[in-house]
Amino acid sequence: MKEQEEEIDELYENMDTLEQYTRKNSLEIEGIPENVCNDKDAVLKVAEALNVNVKREDIDICHRIKRKKTKPIIARFIRHKVKRALYKQRVQLRNVSFSQLFPSASAAARASSNRISINENLTSHRRNLVRIANGGRKTDYLKECGL
């Protein structure tokens, strides 16, 4: 039984590693309401505000994903180099407000917008581990993992 449990754990770990690898060229952009503009234009505006040269053809696919509270934009880039350049400049978003990026946005969109942030596109397992490392709620997840 113990050997099987160890093998299952190893298989889950391998599956998570493979899934994360498929997300290598992807970023999540949070804090942009849905009705402001289309997702690809939003990514391009954020990149422009960060002085990162991203062209429309550098984005492979771009769409929203549903989460409990937010709907972040997932952007998958053609080249890892472009993704890395944008991710590296993410700290500059502290100096950029939503109204600077989207001056024509409605007052409701400006009110509902939070701070814009760029994050790695992590698997749910890795996202939970990051949350635990940052001091988030860990008891439920640890129980789920059997720890």
What's the CATH number where 107 sits?
Answer: 3.30.70
Co-location of 53 and 17 in the same domain: no
Position 84 scores a pLDDT of 94
Co-location of 114 and 84 in the same domain: yes
The two tokens of residue 25 are: 């060229």
Co-location of 128 and 145 in the same domain: yes
Q: What is the mean pLDDT of residues 64-74?
A: 85
Checking if the pLDDT of 110 tops 70, the result is no
Name the pTM for this structure: 0.75
Q: What is the mean pLDDT of residues 81-107?
A: 81
Q: What is the pLDDT of residues 112-124, one digit of tens each?
A: 666 788 999 998 8
Co-location of 37 and 102 in the same domain: yes
Give the end-to-end CA distance of the chain in Å, rounded to a whole number. 18
Q: What is the pLDDT of residues 125-144, one digit of tens each?
A: 888 888 888 886 655 555 55
Q: What is the pLDDT of residues 17-54, one digit of tens each?
A: 999 999 999 999 988 887 777 889 889 989 998 999 99
Position 60 scores a pLDDT of 93
Alpha-carbon separation of residue 31 from 6, 70, 72, 114 (angstroms): 40, 8, 7, 5
Helices 2-22 and 124-133, packing angle to 10 deg:
90
Co-location of 91 and 131 in the same domain: no
